[in-house]
């Protein structure tokens, strides 16, 4: 698989490789995350939340180990905003990442629709409105903050000695398992956008395009303030050095 990807991208520029990696990686994440919901719905809920939480955990881990060296394996606009705040990427790169992530998510939902099924609104996130809106919003902020925290831990411990993908994927799974019954636990605006757009179930999309960014932004600002001195912030040139290139490889 890695050899095939290397061959296919050998003639691409660095930025083109990053764009392609984010498209494919987000595609994988969305297929695993939403496809698991659709499959569970087709089976009348027999697989349950354990399956729905485990599948995106695997998808995220696969994407990180495949593409961490190429693009930092964001696959998530809220995470990309976090890296923008900490100046690991520039605004022009943010636009490219956001475009790639939304493209990959839409392709993922199209794949789910025609290859798996359209049940459960293509796996669109759904909060539990039994709870008050502040509780739902706060839960989604918290889930996104937990994810961003683990990502920064992985990045600045050099990938937890090769377990970075497992740690980040595991955090996604844990958030879904314990918090999805309140907020839906998306943590990823692109993952929420694609099935909502294609199914028409857009009533709760506001939540996942606000709370997720709030959660990752809070952690990014705290990290930038407390972990990076100003002289290091000015010198960060992530795309010109190998700061991230070896952090996600076993």
CATH, residue 175: 1.20.1080.10
- Quote the pLDDT of residue 14: 87
Give the per-residue pLDDT at 246. Answer: 38
In a domain, 130, yes or no: yes
Compute the half-sphere exposure of residue 161: CA atoms within 13 Å on the CB side of its CA: 0
Q: Is the pLDDT of residue 205 over 70?
A: yes
Give the mean pLDDT of 52-57. 98
* pLDDT classification of 50: cutoffs 50, 70, 90: very high
Q: Please, which residues have CB within 8 angstroms of residue 158's CB and are 6 or more apart in sequence?
A: 246, 247
Predicted confidence at residue 2, as pLDDT, reads: 57
Q: Is residue 76 part of a domain?
A: yes
pLDDT, mean of residues 167-187:
97
Q: How confident is the prediction for the chain on average, in pLDDT?
A: 89
For residues 177 and 25, give the distance between their C-alpha atoms in angstroms, rounded to a whole number.
22
The two tokens of residue 249 are: 């490889």
The secondary structure of 32-70 as a DSSP string is HHHHHHHHHHHTTTSSHHHHHHHHHHHHHHHHHHHHHHH
Is the per-residue pLDDT at 231 higher than 50?
A: no
Look-up: residue for tokens 């903050």?
145
Band (pLDDT 50/70/90 cuts) for residue 155 is confident
| 95: in domain | yes
pLDDT confidence of 157, banded at 50, 70, 90?
A: confident
Q: Do residues 137 and 207 touch, judged by C-beta distance below 8 A?
A: yes
Rounded CA separation 214/45 (Å): 31
Higher pLDDT, 159 or 215: 215
Q: What is the pTM of this model?
A: 0.89
Separation of CA 123 from chain center: 16
Q: Is residue 247 part of a domain?
A: no
Angle between helices 14-42 and 91-111 (to 10 degrees): 40
Length of the chain: 250
- Split into its structural domains, the chain has a count of 1
**pLDDT for res 242:** 39
Q: Which domain holds residue 47?
A: 14-240
Report the C-alpha gap between 167 and 149 in whole angstroms.
11
pLDDT score of 230 more than 60: no
Top pLDDT among 211 and 229 is at 211
Evaluate if residue 249 carries a pLDDT over 50. Answer: no
Backbone Cα Rg of the chain: 17
Question: Is 52 exposed, middle or buried (CB count within 10 Å of its CB: 0-12, 13-18, 19+)?
Answer: buried
Evaluate if residue 99 carries a pLDDT over 80. yes
Indicate whether 212 pLDDT > 70: yes
């Amino acid at each position: 698989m890695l050899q095939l990807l290397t061959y296919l991208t050998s003639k691409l520029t660095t930025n083109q490789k990053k764009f392609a990696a984010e498209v494919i990686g987000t595609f994988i994440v969305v297929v695993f995350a939403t496809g698991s919901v659709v499959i569970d719905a087709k089976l009348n809920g027999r697989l349950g939340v354990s399956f729905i939480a485990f599948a995106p955990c695997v998808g995220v881990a696969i994407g990180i180990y495949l593409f961490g060296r190429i693009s930092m394996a964001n696959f998530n606009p809220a995470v990309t905003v976090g890296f923008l705040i900490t100046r690991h990427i520039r605004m022009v790169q943010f636009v490219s990442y956001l475009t790639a992530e939304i493209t990959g998510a839409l392709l993922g939902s199209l794949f789910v629709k025609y290859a798996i099924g359209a049940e459960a609104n293509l796996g669109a996130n759904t909060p539990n409105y039994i709870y008050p809106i502040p509780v739902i919003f706060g839960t989604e902020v918290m889930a996104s903050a937990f994810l961003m925290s683990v990502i920064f831990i992985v990045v600045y411990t050099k990938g937890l000695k090769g377990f970075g993908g497992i740690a980040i994927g595991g955090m996604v799974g844990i958030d879904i398992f314990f918090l999805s019954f309140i907020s839906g636990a998306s943590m990823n605006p692109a993952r929420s956008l694609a099935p909502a757009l294609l199914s028409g179930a857009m009533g709760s999309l506001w939540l996942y395009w606000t709370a997720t960014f709030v959660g990752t932004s809070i952690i990014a600002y705290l990290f930038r303030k407390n972990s990076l001195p100003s002289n290091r912030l000015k010198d960060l040139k992530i795309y010109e050095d190998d700061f991230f290139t070896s952090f996600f490889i076993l």
